[in-house]
A = this chain, B = another copy of it.
Amino acid sequence: MNERLEKIGTNGRFMFLAYDQGLEHGPTDFNDINIDPEHIMRIALEGKYSAVILQKGLALKYWKGTPYEKKVPLIVKINGKSSAWKGEAYSPQNTSVDFAHSLGASAVGYTIYLGSEYEYKMFSEFGKIVEDAHRLGMPAIAWVYPRGKYVEKDDSPEITAYAARIALELGADMAKIKYCGSTESFARAVKAAGKMRVVLSGGNKNTPEGFYQVVQSVLDAGGAGVAVGRNVWQSDDPLKVSQGLHKVVFGK
């Protein structure tokens, strides 16, 4: 396996807890419990996640200098946009790779909106991020989401495989992409990704069992794991869902 990924996975499998929704969607995603990043950090630790995904701000206040720093590897999401702007999608870099590294991050994540009018800015920024990250020995993870006026369906098998391939071509160590409906079609995306690892972006709300099935499908398709957020911390019993997920991903 890509050595840079060893710190954030086990036996080539990855189970990430994503918690950048406060920037992307706002508190509308949260209730009085999961609005608290501390609560999420506990889930990340007790749920035995491979890593937690945070924006710089949360990393500074809820990870750096806390007991979690030694126990839960950190992926810093270094770009983001709000849902308050609804025009053509661009997610600008807000954190330098060097800052993420100095914080102690084990990887950086960056969203690319494939098909956006501003795709070119993100291709260019991400290209530089890969070079910066590799210089520092860190993996660069690309979230690739089809978006924009020419994208009719953002989770078709074809565009999903394209999303995976874009990440590979641009030098990502891993891509986080959406599910495209079946094991067969996801396998095609995994194939398009070649030696690069692919994890599921577990965005849409689902029942635990429904979600396990999607993750199993991703693994069956050759995917390397999942980055989950709302399906865990919006559930009635996050730890139980985490355990269920752990069993699917790691077989125990």
Residues of A within 8 A of B (CB): 20, 22-23, 26-28, 30, 32, 35-38, 55-58, 60-62, 80-82, 84-87, 90-96, 99, 114-117, 119-121, 123-124, 126-128, 130-131, 134, 146, 148, 150-151, 158-159, 161-162, 165-172, 188, 191-192, 194-196
- Give 15 new A-B contacts, CB below 8 A, not counting A27-B162, A36-B194: A23-B165, A23-B166, A26-B158, A27-B192, A30-B192, A37-B194, A55-B169, A57-B170, A62-B194, A62-B195, A92-B121, A92-B124, A94-B127, A94-B128, A95-B127
By a CB distance below 8 angstroms, the chain B residues around A38 are 194
By a CB distance below 8 angstroms, the chain B residues around A81 are 119-120, 123
CB–CB A61/B162 < 8 A = no
Looking at the assembled complex, report how far the CB atom of A22 sits from the nearest CB atom of chain B, in whole angstroms.
Answer: 5
CB–CB B170/A23 < 8 A = yes
By a CB distance below 8 angstroms, the chain B residues around A119 are 81-82, 84-85
CB–CB B36/A166 < 8 A = no
Cα distance, A126 to B56, chains bound together (Å): 12
CB–CB A26/B170 < 8 A = no
**The one of B27, B123, B194 that contacts A80, using a Cβ cutoff of 8 Å:** B123
By a CB distance below 8 angstroms, the chain B residues around A172 are 57
Copies of this chain assembled into the complex: 5
Given contacts A57-B196, A61-B196, A92-B124, contact A191 B26 (CB under 8 A): no
By a CB distance below 8 angstroms, the chain B residues around A131 are 95-96, 99
CB–CB B27/A158 < 8 A = yes
CB–CB A56/B130 < 8 A = yes
- Could you show 18 A-B contacts with beta carbons less than 8 Å apart? A26-B161, A26-B165, A28-B162, A57-B171, A57-B196, A58-B169, A82-B119, A84-B115, A84-B119, A84-B148, A85-B119, A86-B150, A87-B150, A94-B123, A94-B128, A94-B170, A95-B127, A99-B131
CB–CB A22/B127 < 8 A = no
By a CB distance below 8 angstroms, the chain B residues around A61 are 168, 194-196
Cα distance, A67 to B168, chains bound together (Å): 20
In this complex, the member of A23, A57, A124, A195 whose beta carbon has the largest number of chain B beta carbons within 10 angstroms is A57
Cα distance, A36 to B26, chains bound together (Å): 40
Given contacts A55-B169, A57-B170, A84-B150, contact A127 B93 (CB under 8 A): yes
